[in-house]
Structure formats: C-alpha cells, structure tokens
Amino acid sequence: MNKAAPKRKNHLVWIGVLIAIIGLVSYFTFFARFPATRDIPWINLPLVFAGVVVSVLAVRRRLSFLSVTGTLFSVACAGLLTGYVFFLSNQLPDIEGVVALGAEAPAFTLTDDTASGVSLADFKGAPVVLVFYRGFW
C-alpha cells in the first residue's frame, strides 16, 4: 500500500500578508504622528518589504493561487506605502511665503459659517488666535 504524503499547509502566505498589512496600517495609525518615522518610515518600509519576502518564499514553497494572490497583495501594500511616502507626500505645497512665528499676519478676509466676510482688520488691537491646518485638499 502506497499512501500519498499529506500536503503541508503553507502558513507563510498568511504570515507574509499579515506582516505587510501591519507595516502599512501602522504607518498611518501610529508612526505618521512622529516626524522621525513619518518623513522616513524606517520601521514600516522594512516591515512591508519583509512581508513581500515572506510571501515570495510562500510561492517558492508551493505555487498555488493563494500564494500568488498573497504575494500580489503584499506587493500592493509595499507599493501603496512607498508611493505615498515618496511620491504623494512630495506633492504637498512648499512652505515658501509662510509667515514666521510671532510675525504680523497679512491682511485677509474669509467667510464665516453665515457666509458673511470676516476680516482680520476687524480684530485690530484684540488678541486673535489663528489656527492653520496643514493639508492639501
């Protein structure tokens, strides 16, 4: 009697995808808060690329639809993080023309929630707190 050896489970597929997802998601949920890890994601890039390597090892271990799909997903996670950090982040406007801290703000008029104009000159002599959010939308 010749029994066929049972197929081994290819856990590397799930491990690679999990590592890549952790690397991608943790950048946006935690590491993007800190300039040291936001500007150059020295923790997240190795994580997502380690996920790709583990996924490729899963394909080398056993070629299957699942292992190829996992590898493609890990590559997509690495591409998303790399594209965001090195391409999209560079599309933000430069800081040229920014008013220095403590300097007098230029005159401007904006609309309030009732669509009437509010000018900075209206508050001349009164303390004013201006909050500007960095964004590109």
Kindly list the domain boundaries of the chain, sorted by start residue. Answer: 12-91
Taking only the tens place, the pLDDT of each residue in 66-125 is: 999 999 999 999 999 999 988 887 777 677 777 777 777 788 888 887 888 888 888 888
Non-local CB neighbours of 75 within 8 Å, separated by 6+ positions: 52, 55
Spatial distance between the Cα atoms of 76 and 78, rounded to a whole number of angstroms:
5
pLDDT, one tens digit per residue, over 75-85 is 999 999 999 98
